[in-house]
Amino acid sequence: MDYFEPKTVSEALSLLAKHGAEAKVIAGGTDVMVDIKYKEEPGCLINIKKIPGLGAIQENGASLRIGALTTIRDLETSALVRDKLPVLWEASHQFASLQIRNTATIGGNICRASPSGETLTPLLVLDAKAKIAFSDGEKTEPFASFFQGPGKCSVGSKGLLTEIDVPYPAAGSKSVYLKHAVRGAMDIAMVGVAVLITPDAAKNSLQDVRIGLGAVAPTPLRASKTEALLRGKPLTVALSKEAAAMAASESSPISDQRSSAEYRSWIVEALTRRGLEQTWKAATGKEVA
Ligand SMILES: Cc1cc2nc3c(=O)[nH]c(=O)nc-3n(C[C@H](O)[C@H](O)[C@H](O)COP(=O)(O)OP(=O)(O)OC[C@H]3O[C@@H](n4cnc5c(N)ncnc54)[C@H](O)[C@@H]3O)c2cc1C
C-alpha cells in the first residue's frame, strides 16, 4: 500500500486525481484504520492530517467556520461552539471516549456519511454547508443535499472536504441533541434526534422548528412533514404526541445487531416528543399543556 502525506490541499487533490478509486483519504483514522483491519486495504492512503489551516474554528459574521480537521475534542472544548452552536457542542460530548474524541475529526465524521454519525443531525438542523475542493474547482453544498446513502456523500472519491460553514440559530432559539445507545457515549447511536425551535416574539407559538433524525434511514434526515405540522402553532401535549408519531412515520429504520426497526421507531417517537417539550419549555418558560 502506498502512503502519502501531502502538505497542501492542491497536493492532496493531485494525488486523489492520480490514484483514483484505489486512493483513500485518512484524517483521524478512527474509521479508516478499523476498515483496513476488518474490511479491505486501499491501494494508497493519503494522510491529510499535516495540511495546515484545516483545523480552525473561526467566526464569520453570523456563522462559524469549522475546518475539516477540527477534532471532536476541539468542538467539545470550544467556548464559541458551546455558546453559538449548543446542539453541536452537546453532540460532541456524547461522542465515544475521550481517546476517540481526541483523534476523530468532524470532516471524517461527515465524509464517513454514516446515518448514525453524531455530528450530522445537529449540522442538518443548523442548515450547515460543506465546502468541498476538487482538482478543477470547489463547491459549497448544503447539508440538506449532501448525503446520498450509507457511506455516500457529495465529496465522492475525488473531493476533499475543507470546511463547514454553520449559521448561528436565530436569537431566542433552543436546541437539544438526544442520543439513544446501550452504552451511552461509548456506543454508536441506535437513534439520534436533534431538535431546534424558535418561538415567536410573544413566545406563544413555534415560529421555526427543525428536527433531525439519525440512524433511522439510509441517510440522516430532516423530518420535514413534522416540521410543517408544528410551524406556527403553540406546542400542546396533543400536538407534541401527533408530531412525534409523524416523525416516526417519516423514518425508515432497519433491524440490525443494535436494534429492531420497530424499537427504533418507538425511540424516534419518544425522543422527538422529549426534544420538542424540553426545547419548548426552555424557549418559552412554559410547561407544555
Ligand atoms: C471505538 C470507536 C467509537 C466510535 N464512536 C462513535 C460515536 O460515538 N459517534 C460517531 O459518530 N462516530 C463514532 N465512531 C466513528 C468515528 O470515530 C467517527 O466517524 C470519526 O468522526 C471519523 O473521523 P476520523 O477523522 O477518524 O475519520 P477517518 O477514519 O480518517 O475517515 C473517515 C472517512 O472520511 C474520509 N475523510 C476524512 N476526512 C476527509 C476529508 N476532509 N475530505 C474527504 N474525505 C475525508 C475518509 O476517506 C474515510 O472514508 C467511533 C469509532 C470508534 C473506532
Same domain, 69 and 149: yes
Same domain, 23 and 156: yes
Residue 97 lies inside a defined structural domain of this protein: yes
Q: Given a cut of 80, is residue 185 above it in pLDDT?
A: no
* DSSP conformation letters of the chain: -EEE--SSHHHHHHHHHHHGGGEEEESS-TTHHHHHHHS---SEEEE-TT-TTSS-EEEETTEEEEETT-BHHHHHT-HHHHHH-HHHHHHHHTSS-HHHHHH-BHHHHHHHT-TT-TTHHHHHHTT-EEEEEETTEEEEEEGGGTEEETTEETTTTT-EEEEEEEEPPPTT-EEEEEEE-TTGGGS--SEEEEEEEEE-TTSSSEEEEEEEEESSSSS-EE-HHHHHHHTTS---HHHHHHHHHHHHHH------SS--HHHHHHHHHHHHHHHHHHHHHHHHS----
- CA-proximal residue: ligand 1, atom 36 (nearest): 108
Same domain, 35 and 161: yes
> Tens of pLDDT along 3-22?
999 999 999 999 999 998 89
> Which of 120, 142, 167 delimits the end of a domain?
167
Atom index in ligand 1 nearest the CA of residue 162 equals 41
Residue 149 lies inside a defined structural domain of this protein: yes
Same domain, 16 and 124: yes
> Which of 152, 167, 182 delimits the end of a domain?
167
Place of cell 449559521: 167
Same domain, 211 and 135: no
Residue 182 lies inside a defined structural domain of this protein: yes
CATH code, 119:
3.30.465.10
Q: How far is the CA of 167 from the centre of ligand 1 (A)?
A: 23
> Tens of pLDDT along 241-280?
999 999 999 999 999 988 999 999 999 999 999 999 999 9
Same domain, 265 and 207: yes
Same domain, 131 and 266: no
Residue 196 lies inside a defined structural domain of this protein: yes
Residue 228 lies inside a defined structural domain of this protein: yes
Would you tell me how many other CB atoms lie within 10 Å of the CB of residue 137?
A: 7
| pLDDT bracket for residue 282 (50, 70, 90) | very high
Same domain, 134 and 189: no
Q: How far is the CA of 285 from the centre of ligand 1 (A)?
A: 38
Atom index in ligand 1 nearest the CA of residue 106 equals 21
Residue 256 lies inside a defined structural domain of this protein: yes
Query: What average pLDDT does the segment 178-187 reach?
Result: 84
Whether the CB of 105 sits within 6 Å of ligand 1:
yes
Same domain, 185 and 162: no
DSSP H or E stretch at residue 32: helix 32-38
> Which of 167, 200, 231 delimits the end of a domain?
167
CATH code, 276:
3.30.390.50
Domain that holds residue 104: 2-47+56-167
Residue 289 lies inside a defined structural domain of this protein: no
Whether the CB of 227 sits within 6 Å of ligand 1:
no
Same domain, 11 and 79: yes
- pTM (global) more than 0.95: yes
Give the model's pLDDT for residue 188.
86
**102 with 73: CB under 8 angstroms?**
yes
Whether the CB of 277 sits within 6 Å of ligand 1:
no
- CA-proximal residue: ligand 1, atom 23 (nearest): 108
Whether the CB of 107 sits within 6 Å of ligand 1:
yes
163-172, 194-203, 249-258: which has the minimum mean pLDDT? 249-258
Same domain, 276 and 235: yes
- Which residue of 4, 16, 36, 100 sits with most ligand 1 atoms within 8 Å of its CB, as the best mutation to test the pocket? 100
Residue 103 lies inside a defined structural domain of this protein: yes
**188 with 159: CB under 8 angstroms?**
no
Domain count along the chain: 2
Same domain, 42 and 113: yes
Whether the CB of 109 sits within 6 Å of ligand 1:
yes
Give the model's pLDDT for residue 257.
86
